[in-house]
Homo-oligomer: A and B are copies of this chain.
């Protein structure tokens, strides 16, 4: 059994942990326990699950100091950021408690028996039910909010699905400590083993998605990782959904009047957005379109000053550091020029210098428009707003597309560019920056390939839909129906005979 290694990206030290890579026999037992645990998650009901989700949030927060310190030593992300991320992770569990109590997510519908143009129609009742055990593959860049204690785990549990997380090799101890926090809350709530489990090692990840007991998988990672998991899934006789959030360039368009009105403010915002967390966010803006005019010059000059005087960024691991350095070099070879980059002593860890690169719009190519994970932005200088539509089509579809405009910008042009971006992203940001993803009901974190492979979000209330499937009951006796589908249950919104009926609030609520 191979010991799991942890690496401190701040100084590059590697050491063996007490954890070992999960072999196939143990993995089989873990999935079997997960399959059995599904019953408990259903039996406790929506309100019971909501309580468990809140207990998990409490448990995570009660271990904040240990979790944050562990994550800092494994990710190099600073304490303020990790502290905030843990708050976000707890918030996600609490939000899903609200979602589950609200009950609208089950999409309950009742069609009473009725005469139809095709004869007598039977009584039909439909709601969404859990898919079964879900495999979760967390991301390197969010050791809490997109990892063991992340949104995939929270939404799958909320749906009623047991979760088996494959720990990210970049933060095994954080993963283990997060799992312990979750597992202890589940146990205190009376839950059996297997409600949330954890496995270690790449081979275990592949075995996991091939296991017949696993009914869905969720990944936040690279296109390469998604292809490897999909290849493993394709070996199954029964395909299962893989929800993958992958790669995103997140173009930002600064229109001339915006640059004229607030060049310094936009430079400040762009700098914070592309360098925060070492630029290691899936929503990091990788391309900014800035006008080739005096206002645009001022904006780029202000950005240049900020970058030139910035410090180094410690990246998450050696692979990401190497990819960043080779990506930066590739951009230069492809014709983007380095506009600002401080000299940084990398030390023994995975520290790099942020980079501002520039290219004239006519020289924008697919290579330059490709994602480079880390603290780098390419500013694309354009002469005419009319050039932007075609240029945006060379940018790969992304999670987000942003547009900054001012009072003097042509409204029709703005509308046209928004249409182009809307066809190629999942979230349109106006006069703002794509980083800092609000966790809420109306959030959508997803987009056309290659940003994701799905028509569902991985952040926010509706991400629960990924782990549910519809089930219909035809002419069922009342006692066999789930309570959500009985005639007298009015505590959740339901569609009855085609008409949406909001929940009737109970008096003691």
Task: Determine whether the beta carbon of A471 is less than 8 Å from that of B495.
Answer: no
B residues in contact with A457, CB < 8 Å:
470
B residues in contact with A462, CB < 8 Å:
107, 109, 126, 470
User: Nearest CB to that of A500 among chain B residues?
Assistant: B493
| Residue A444 is within 8 A (CB to CB) of chain B in the complex | yes
| Residue A476 is within 8 A (CB to CB) of chain B in the complex | yes
Contact of A126 among B118, B411, B418, B442 (CB under 8 A): B442
Task: Determine whether the beta carbon of B476 is less than 8 Å from that of A426.
Answer: no
B residues in contact with A316, CB < 8 Å:
none
| Residue A347 is within 8 A (CB to CB) of chain B in the complex | no
Task: Determine whether the beta carbon of B469 is less than 8 Å from that of A455.
Answer: yes
| Residue A324 is within 8 A (CB to CB) of chain B in the complex | no
User: Nearest CB to that of A87 among chain B residues?
Assistant: B117
Task: Determine whether the beta carbon of B471 is less than 8 Å from that of A430.
Answer: no
Alpha-carbon separation in the docked complex, A441 to B116 (Å): 13
* Complex interface: stretch among A23-31, A338-346, A377-385, A446-454: A446-454
Task: Determine whether the beta carbon of B124 is less than 8 Å from that of A472.
Answer: no
Task: Determine whether the beta carbon of A471 is less than 8 Å from that of B427.
Answer: yes
Alpha-carbon separation in the docked complex, A427 to B132 (Å): 17
B residues in contact with A118, CB < 8 Å:
84, 87-88, 91, 436, 438-439
Task: Determine whether the beta carbon of A428 is less than 8 Å from that of B470.
Answer: no
| Residue A129 is within 8 A (CB to CB) of chain B in the complex | yes
Task: Determine whether the beta carbon of B502 is less than 8 Å from that of A500.
Answer: yes
Q: Known contacts A122-B438, A480-B415, A493-B500; is A470 also within 8 Å of B450 by CB?
A: no
B residues in contact with A418, CB < 8 Å:
480
| Residue A422 is within 8 A (CB to CB) of chain B in the complex | yes
| Residue A34 is within 8 A (CB to CB) of chain B in the complex | no
Alpha-carbon separation in the docked complex, A476 to B431 (Å): 8
Task: Determine whether the beta carbon of A239 is less than 8 Å from that of B449.
Answer: yes
Contact of A444 among B102, B431, B472, B503 (CB under 8 A): B472
Alpha-carbon separation in the docked complex, A118 to B87 (Å): 7
Residue count of chain A within 8 Å CB distance of chain B: 80
| Residue A131 is within 8 A (CB to CB) of chain B in the complex | yes
| Residue A432 is within 8 A (CB to CB) of chain B in the complex | yes
Task: Determine whether the beta carbon of A131 is less than 8 Å from that of B455.
Answer: yes
Interface centre among A87, A495, A501 (most CB of B within 10 A): A495
Task: Determine whether the beta carbon of A116 is less than 8 Å from that of B438.
Answer: yes
| Residue A168 is within 8 A (CB to CB) of chain B in the complex | no
Task: Determine whether the beta carbon of B441 is less than 8 Å from that of A111.
Answer: yes
Alpha-carbon separation in the docked complex, A450 to B207 (Å): 21
Q: Known contacts A428-B472, A432-B474, A480-B418; is A498 also within 8 Å of B116 by CB?
A: no
Q: How far in angstroms is the closest Cβ of chain B from A100?
A: 13
| Residue A241 is within 8 A (CB to CB) of chain B in the complex | yes
Task: Determine whether the beta carbon of B111 is less than 8 Å from that of A91.
Answer: no
User: Nearest CB to that of A397 among chain B residues?
Assistant: B238
Within 8 A of B (CB), among A343-379: none
Alpha-carbon separation in the docked complex, A414 to B501 (Å): 31
Q: Known contacts A91-B117, A480-B430; is A111 also within 8 Å of B438 by CB?
A: yes
Task: Determine whether the beta carbon of B426 is less than 8 Å from that of A470.
Answer: yes
Q: How far in angstroms is the closest Cβ of chain B from A303?
A: 22
Q: Known contacts A453-B239, A476-B430; is A470 also within 8 Å of B441 by CB?
A: no
| Residue A192 is within 8 A (CB to CB) of chain B in the complex | no
Within 8 A of B (CB), among A405-443: 411, 414-415, 418, 422-423, 425-432, 436, 438-443
Task: Determine whether the beta carbon of B438 is less than 8 Å from that of A473.
Answer: no
Task: Determine whether the beta carbon of A430 is less than 8 Å from that of B477.
Answer: yes
| Residue A293 is within 8 A (CB to CB) of chain B in the complex | no
Task: Determine whether the beta carbon of A471 is less than 8 Å from that of B104.
Answer: no
Given contacts A91-B116, A428-B472, 17 further A-B contacts (CB under 8 A): A98-B498, A102-B498, A111-B440, A118-B438, A121-B440, A125-B442, A126-B442, A126-B443, A126-B444, A426-B469, A430-B474, A432-B475, A443-B472, A444-B472, A446-B469, A457-B470, A501-B502
In the complex, 29 of the A-B residue pairs with CB atoms within 8 angstroms, ordered by the A residue number, are A87-B117, A87-B118, A88-B118, A91-B117, A107-B462, A109-B461, A111-B438, A111-B440, A111-B441, A116-B439, A118-B439, A126-B462, A414-B480, A426-B469, A427-B473, A428-B472, A428-B473, A430-B474, A431-B475, A432-B474, A441-B497, A441-B498, A442-B472, A444-B472, A455-B469, A455-B470, A461-B498, A500-B502, A500-B503
> Could you list which residues of chain A lie within 8 angstroms of chain B, going by C-beta atoms?
84, 87-88, 91, 98, 102, 104, 107, 109-111, 116-119, 121-122, 124-126, 129, 131-132, 238-239, 241, 411, 414-415, 418, 422-423, 425-432, 436, 438-444, 446, 448-450, 453, 455-457, 460-462, 466, 468-477, 479-480, 493, 495, 497-498, 500-503
